[in-house]
Amino acid sequence: MQVIDPDKKLSAGDQVTLVIEEDKEGGLPRVVTATGDIEIPQLFRVRVSGKTTTEASADIKRRLEADYYYHATVRLNIDRVSPISVRAGTVTISGQVRAPGPQEMIAGEDLTLSVAIQKSGNFTEWAKPDKVKLTRQVNGVAQTSIYNVEKIIRDGDSSADPKLKDGDRVFVDKAWARWK
């Protein structure tokens, strides 16, 4: 029997059981679709990808109580985690990181700039972590922003850590002198 982390975020392909106690029908097996939704018996779909079972249950409960039930008791359990991650895109990391190259983005999971750099083996000793360039295509025009990733990581400021999108390019410049 597989033990599943209760804080695991749901993603496409995960098999779950939905129980609405007031229906008295027992559990309804569901599979998270490629778009990150599950079908609810009352004829609607709910986005669950990127949420824990607790978060998804609360969202389903809120929607059921808005239209169908005075009070709903909802449980969502993960039966099986999808062995296949659904790819949502690719970002490219280059420059002064230990493992430069493309990184796949997984559907339902946010990939931030600092996490992408850490997945690339982190900065080399010659990196300029205070001047990381993020280039993104917006309406066919390349727009480059500069981020102080060293400060983002040090301060733990997630609001300053941009979420990456498919096609983004990250470049870590080389420092010509080491100060540390």
CA nearest to 50, candidates 111, 91, 132: 111
Buried b (16+ CB within 10 A) or exposed e, 37-48: bbebeeeeebbb
Q: What is the pLDDT of residues 36-91, one digit of tens each?
A: 889 887 668 888 888 888 999 999 999 888 888 888 888 888 888 876 656 678 89
Give the domains, in start order, of the chain with CATH numbers: 15-80 (3.30.1950.10), 87-174 (3.10.560.10)
H or E element that contains 24: none
Radius of gyration of the chain measured on its C-alpha atoms: 21
Question: Whole-model pTM above 0.75?
Answer: no
Distance, in Å, from the CA atom of 80 to the CA atom of 20, rounded to the nearest integer, reads 20
